Amino acid sequence: MKDLIVVTGGTGYIGSHTAVELMEAGYEVLIIDNLANSQIEVLGGIEKITGKKPPFEKLDLLDRKGVMDCFDRYPAIKAVIHFAAHKAVNESVEKPLMYYENNLLSLINLLNAMKEHGVRHFVFSSSCTVYGQPDKLPVTEQSPIKKASSPYGNTKQIAEEIIEDSILSGDPFDAISLRYFNPVGAHPSAYIGELPLGVPANLVPFITQTAIGIRAELRVFGDDYNTPDGSAIRDYIDVVDLSRAHVTSIKRLISGKNKNALEVFNLGTGKGLSVLEIINAFVKATGVDIKFRVEDRREGDVEQVYADTTLANRILGWKANTTLEETLRSAWKWEQNLRNG
């Protein structure tokens, strides 16, 4: 029997791409999602790519009994990849209690279900926001964990502490925490991609929606940062490259190659690009001009952050290989496919 991997938030952006990569690597996948920030039609896109629709459970992870019952129904669960969380930095500043309740209680309920059902392997969807505004760039896994600049970032810090404390207490887990930088792009097939509900909080879908005419103009938050062109700098990583790191992590845990009960890896390209550089790169890659206007800085945003990926390259044997041009073209192809039905 193939190993069954639970993917929480599996109809979401990164979760759906990871489900595809897992299935193409030979794993069985169970998707759990409450569809609060995603759509059920994503399962059809996964099926078009892989030839198989994964089993799906509509479930809110805040429902502790529901989570336990779900694990009861699937005794073959071998590992869990946990994506399901609220994730908008600016929204978390406005609604901190909602973020703490959702992001932390869902994790606790999941870990309790794993413990009760003897599921040992856990991959956590973390974030570079745990580093706050770093004193030194690029960021390594040994960089200090600073006070988070947003409640969202703080939930990721606390979540990692919960996982580590559970392991140190003797709970029979091993875990890998993957600290993402900025996932962008879509599957090359254009059957799945980023699907924000309402006004996008992330840069690239805002660019593609502007390019196709849904948004009148792109909003650039700040041009007075201490960066070469004044706009904020991030490390933009292709979502398929990112998803493949989860497959590698699952293999590492199941095979017992992990050296520590909790391992942490940065996932990025190792290169920082500004907002204005991304806009120019999109125009160059697609030939579509983008109208934008500069607004005040957005609360909770850091000035610049990008990854040192040496550890993930060496230990996981993983590397981001997709070019920025390919990534932006995939995002544009997905947007066109989405709007054209």
Residue 104 pLDDT grade (very low, low, confident, very high; cuts 50, 70, 90) = very high
Determine which one of 152, 191, 225, 236 is catalytic: 152
- Is the pLDDT at 257 greater than 90? The verdict is no
3-class secondary structure per residue, the chain: CCCEEEEECCCCHHHHHHHHHHHHCCCEEEEEECCCCCCCCHHHHHHHHHCCCCCEEECCCCCHHHHHHHHHHCCCEEEEEECCCCCCHHHHHHCHHHHHHHHHHHHHHHHHHHHHHCCCEEEEEEEHHHHCCCCCCCECCCCCCCCCCCHHHHHHHHHHHHHHHHHHCCCCCEEEEEEECEEECCCCCCCCCCCCCCCCCCHHHHHHHHHHCCCCCEEEECCCCCCCCCCCEECEEEHHHHHHHHHHHHHHHHHCCCCCCEEEEEECCCCCEEHHHHHHHHHHHHCCCCCEEEECCCCCCCCECCECCHHHHHHHCCCCCCCHHHHHHHHHHHHHHHHCC
Q: What is the mean pLDDT of residues 319-329?
A: 97
Q: Which pLDDT value is given to residue 1? A: 58
- Is the pLDDT at 100 greater than 80? The verdict is yes
Q: Which pLDDT value is given to residue 52? A: 97
pLDDT in tens, 19-43: 999 999 999 999 999 999 999 999 9
Q: Which pLDDT value is given to residue 341? A: 65
Distances (CA, A) of 126 to 110, 282, 329: 15, 27, 26
Q: What is the mean pLDDT of residues 177-205?
A: 94
Q: 184, exposed or middle or buried, with CB in 10 Å at 0-12, 13-18, 19+?
A: buried
pLDDT in tens, 61-97: 999 999 999 999 999 999 999 999 999 888 999 999 9
Set out the domains of the chain in order of their start, with CATH numbers: 4-184+237-267 (3.40.50.720), 203-234+270-339 (3.90.25.10)
Residue 198 pLDDT grade (very low, low, confident, very high; cuts 50, 70, 90) = confident
Task: Tell me the C-alpha distance between 181 and 237, whole Å.
Answer: 7
pLDDT in tens, 209-256: 999 999 999 999 999 999 999 999 999 999 999 999 999 999 999 999
Average model confidence (pLDDT) across the chain? 95
Q: Is 152 among the residues known to form the active site?
A: yes
pLDDT in tens, 107-160: 999 999 999 999 999 999 999 989 988 889 999 999 999 888 889 999 999 999
